Amino acid sequence: MQFKNAVLFLSAFPAALAILPMTLELLVFQDGQRVGCVNGYGKFISSTAACYPFRTRDIEGSDNKNLWAFGYGTCSTESGVFDCYEPEGTPAIFTHNGADLELVGSGTTFSANSIPSSSDTAGAEIIVGSGGSEQFFLQVHSLSG
């Protein structure tokens, strides 16, 4: 009987990995190297001192694999950029794709027009898709569960 319980537990494990954690950091990776993170405004910064813990919230009626993300406010991408401070438009819906954050309907690729210097605390706008000169992925780093 114990073996059956262990098998059931292990079989549910991959499904649990697909759900975004309740608190997370968004790390910026380019060519396999970490080059920064996302601050609470939804901007790309290269200084790790201002990485911001994002929260996630279930979307009512969803299968709990798709969630809203909150920085200083509910994150939206309706304007074409990642915006988490008093954004215009509807909240963006995110999910996990491996280690990468995926914007539902747009994929995992994000970009910026430049990589900000480590002293730039305001950061660079994160463009949805590959329209900027610097393409990267946002990886989810769980802070809690």
Higher pLDDT: 83 or 14? It is 83
Instruction: Please check whether residue 123 is in contact with residue 37, taking contact to mean a CB–CB distance below 8 angstroms.
Output: no
Residue 59: exposed, middle, or buried by beta-carbon count in 10 A (0-12, 13-18, 19+)? middle
Separation CA 6–CA 122 (nearest Å): 48
pLDDT tens-place string over residues 21-62: 788 899 999 999 999 999 999 999 998 777 888 888 878 777
Separation CA 39–CA 139 (nearest Å): 14
Q: Which of 32-46, 64-78, 79-93, 99-113 has the lowest mean pLDDT?
A: 64-78
